[in-house]
Amino acid sequence: MELTQATTGLHRNKVLVAAFLMATLSVGTATGVQRTVISLYSSELLGEEAQRLYYILVYLPILSFGLLKGTIDLIGGWISDRIGRKTAAVLGSGIYLIGALTLFFGKTLAAVGLANLLIGAGQGMLLAAAMIALSDIGASSEQAFSFGLMESSVYGGYGIGSVLAGYVSQAKGHHEAFWISVSAAALAFSVALLGIRETRALAGFAGERGAGSEMSTLEVYGRCLKSWTLRVAYFLGHIAKFSDTLIWGVFPLYLASLGYTDEHIGWVQGVSTFVWAASMPFTGRISDKLGRKVPSALGLGLKALGIFGVYFGKSFYLDLVSAGMIGLGVGLYYPIMPAISTDVVPSGVKGRAIGLYRSIRDYGYFTGALALGLVTGWGYSYAFLLTIALLGVGAIAIATGVKETRPFWPAYPDVVRHAEKVKEAVEVLKEMFESYRGGDLERAKMLAKRIKELEDAADELRVTIDRSLWLSVLRGQDKADFARLTQRIDRVAAFALGSSRRLLLVEPGEISEELKSTLSEFLDGLSREVELLTEALKLMGEDLEGSLPLIEEVGDLETELDILHQRALSELEGHAERIDVLTLLNLRDLVEFLEYAADVAEDAADVMRVIVFKHSAWSV
């Protein structure tokens, strides 16, 4: 089956999603081995020399992993956009396999460092391709959930690899655990080569290109980095990997210093990544519904608390609880950071935007290994406290310093239903006018009753929406924005009802065919305007900035309706000499009520535009 935008959705592409997740699970398992044994193995290779840079050398494999992984993330994003997601996945998994073989057969610290350069490059390219592809496959309302699935598979693999490595290294030595890495990497390469298909067509690419694809790579990076919200998201991603370096590199050495066996160390590592992996699909889904900021801030704080617990617990079972806390914290924020980018960037630059995020994020392994390698020489406590402090700064930064790119909107389904009722009322008014114009007054009166029913139903929904808004935890200004939007839309129905009542007060023969034609044309435009407004409102729940073109179209259409309004007033002047004053006033009210309906529809679009601009993080 050819992949197109019509086939977007995780549930429609289960086999393809499963192939990507199997590849990332396998690579995660291969890397998870290192989380238990790499710093212990490096220390074993280095010996017990008391050197100033001893810990930097111990963390050298992690440092080299982060250095090349961060660089390759950029290339992986570029290859994914320009050549294809499958090509990047196959290249990445192949490079990873070469690195895993080098890690096993090279038995010096230099060989381990080289192997991790290759492993970092391969994992960076594969995971960038998988993240972009799953973003293509998932609908706009599934972005954080799709990232949660991918990261869950990766870090589920980390947990499996960590635990298996603990048992193997305890029984046969640290080096023998790398057989697990070689086997898992070979599986990842096979799946990428045989089971993965290209997904760019799902992202809205026309031929080989999509919206924004004409932008140069430097321009894409420049626009991303101009956004304060995206810069903070990138910084937090970097801190996430910095803190993961502590877990990857320092935890095994610290726990070993307390007398923990390799099996115990493997379980502490495994529990954190298992909880991390298990929670991400759910936390991603929560974020898609409730917003990005609150779960991220809670997650960063919870991870800091868990790291604090591991350092001060000094008990295997307490450390398992703290490890679970770390995993839950990571699960809360980890799938959200890349979703902030995909919330706002056009489809044609998505790969490069995600590549930039992943690059800055994964350089955290480099800076983390460097900084923690230096401070660990002064004592483990310095490494732990530095990491906890950075996580605390990150939690405060996202809670107070960024825009909510997916705002929580209480009673949003009711808001859409309310707009649908108003839209139907305008459509019935249009139908009523055509019946009136054709002389079928009985049908016109019946349709007028239907407009009243729809206006009453819209009023009931508005009361429900207002109650939900004012009882919610939203900030006062956000409550006011959403309430004002519902009120503007509601007034469209009120003016439609007023128009229907004025129309029935005038005999059809008292209106010229010229004015009837103008009013019919106006109602066509008003119906289209309210339809665009409703579609924009629906789109705001999935793709906030994607609704802007529809919002702008509402404004353009209202300008055309202003011209029709002036024409109707001019034609109305010709009726003054042949109809009575009361009929003339009713006709004037009819024309004005229709114009008011168009005006408040445009006012509603203006409120929607304000909401988009308040929460947008990409230059629009």
For 601-615, write each residue's pLDDT tens digit: 999 999 998 888 777
Please spell the DSSP secondary structure of 398-445, one letter per residue: HHHSS--SS---TTHHHHHHHHHHHHHHHHHHHHHHHHHHTT-HHHHH
Q: Is the pLDDT of residue 316 over 60?
A: yes
Structure confidence at residue 210 (pLDDT) = 45
**Other Cβ atoms closer than 10 A to 463:** 10
DSSP state of 209: B
Q: Is the pLDDT of residue 589 over 90?
A: yes
508-515 contact pairs (CB < 8 A, 24+): 508/436, 508/437, 508/439, 508/441, 510/575, 510/579, 510/583, 510/587, 511/575, 511/587, 512/571, 512/574, 512/575, 514/571, 515/568, 515/571, 515/572, 515/575, 515/587
Please spell the DSSP secondary structure of 565-615, one letter per residue: HHHHHHHHHTTTTTS-HHHHHHHHHHHHHHHHHHHHHHHHHHHHHHHHHHH
Which has the closest alpha carbon to 82: 232, 207, 269?
207
Sketch out the chain's domains with CATH numbers.
Answer: 13-197+215-400 (1.20.1250.20), 412-615 (1.20.58.220)
| More confident site: 199 or 115 | 115
Structure confidence at residue 596 (pLDDT) = 95
Please state, in angstroms and rounded to a whole number, the distance separating the CA atoms of residues 306 and 309: 5
| More confident site: 584 or 36 | 584
Q: Is the pLDDT of residue 62 over 50?
A: yes
Task: Identify how many contiguous H helices and E strands the chain contains and give both numbers.
Answer: 22, 0
Any residues with CB less than 8 A from the CB of 463 and at least 6 apart, and which?
none
- For the chain, what is the mean pLDDT? 82
Q: Is the pLDDT of residue 459 over 70?
A: yes
Helix (H, G, I), strand (E, B) or coil at 49: coil
Q: Is the pLDDT of residue 50 over 60?
A: no
Please state, in angstroms and rounded to a whole number, the distance separating the CA atoms of residues 407 and 343: 11
Structure confidence at residue 417 (pLDDT) = 92
Give whole-number Cα distances, 455 to 71, 410, 497, 504, 589, in Å.
58, 22, 7, 17, 19
**Other Cβ atoms closer than 10 A to 10:** 16
98 close to 179: Cβ distance less than 8 angstroms: no
Token pair recorded at residue 512: 């010229």
| Single pTM value for the model | 0.67
Encode pLDDT of 246-263 as tens digits.
Answer: 888 888 888 888 888 888
Q: Is the pLDDT of residue 498 over 80?
A: yes
Q: Is the pLDDT of residue 208 over 60?
A: no
Encode pLDDT of 211-232 as tens digits.
Answer: 555 677 788 778 778 877 788 8
Q: Is the pLDDT of residue 2 over 60?
A: no
Residue 130: alpha-carbon gap to chain centroid:
15
The residue written with tokens 């626009």 in the block is 223
Give whole-number Cα distances, 211 to 6, 161, 345, 400, 619, in Å.
17, 40, 9, 31, 14
Structure confidence at residue 123 (pLDDT) = 85
Q: Is the pLDDT of residue 205 over 50?
A: no
Please state, in angstroms and rounded to a whole number, the distance separating the CA atoms of residues 232 and 360: 11
Structure confidence at residue 120 (pLDDT) = 82
The residue written with tokens 């109809």 in the block is 579
Structure confidence at residue 285 (pLDDT) = 67
Structure confidence at residue 356 (pLDDT) = 83
Element at 294 (helix H, strand E) = helix 293-313
Please state, in angstroms and rounded to a whole number, the distance separating the CA atoms of residues 428 and 115: 70
Q: Is the pLDDT of residue 292 over 80?
A: no
Which of 11-15, 30-34, 207-211, 275-279 shows the highest mean pLDDT?
30-34
Confidence band of 106 (pLDDT split at 50, 70, 90): confident
Any residues with CB less than 8 A from the CB of 75 and at least 6 apart, and which?
125, 355
Token pair recorded at residue 551: 């919002």
Confidence band of 369 (pLDDT split at 50, 70, 90): confident
Of 48-57, 182-191, 530-539, 599-608, the one with minimum mean pLDDT is 48-57
Element at 397 (helix H, strand E) = helix 380-400
Confidence band of 3 (pLDDT split at 50, 70, 90): very low
Structure confidence at residue 4 (pLDDT) = 44
Q: Is the pLDDT of residue 575 over 90?
A: no
Structure confidence at residue 56 (pLDDT) = 65
> CA torsion sign, 578 to 581 to 583 to 584?
positive
**Other Cβ atoms closer than 10 A to 105:** 11
Give whole-number Cα distances, 493 to 376, 379, 457, in Å.
68, 70, 10
273-302 b/e with 16+ CB inside 10 Å = b? bbbbbbbbbebbbbbbeebbbbbbbbbbbb
Any residues with CB less than 8 A from the CB of 92 and at least 6 apart, and which?
72, 76, 121, 122, 123, 124, 125, 126, 127, 128, 129, 192
Q: Is the pLDDT of residue 203 over 60?
A: no
Any residues with CB less than 8 A from the CB of 284 and at least 6 apart, and which?
144, 145, 146, 147, 148, 149, 335, 336, 339
Please state, in angstroms and rounded to a whole number, the distance separating the CA atoms of residues 223 and 226: 5
Encode pLDDT of 402-424 as tens digits.
Answer: 776 666 666 778 889 999 999 99
Any residues with CB less than 8 A from the CB of 243 and at least 6 apart, and which?
303, 307, 364, 368, 387, 390, 391
Structure confidence at residue 529 (pLDDT) = 95
| More confident site: 115 or 6 | 115
Which of 174-178, 315-319, 404-408 shows the highest mean pLDDT?
315-319
Give whole-number Cα distances, 238 to 356, 362, 385, in Å.
11, 6, 17
Encode pLDDT of 68-102 as tens digits.
Answer: 777 776 676 667 767 778 888 898 899 999 999 99
Structure confidence at residue 616 (pLDDT) = 67
> CA torsion sign, 134 to 137 to 138 to 143?
positive
Token pair recorded at residue 95: 């490079």
| More confident site: 442 or 292 | 442
Q: Is the pLDDT of residue 53 over 60?
A: no
| More confident site: 153 or 425 | 425
Confidence band of 384 (pLDDT split at 50, 70, 90): very high
Say how many residues make up the chain.
620
Section 29-48 average pLDDT? 78
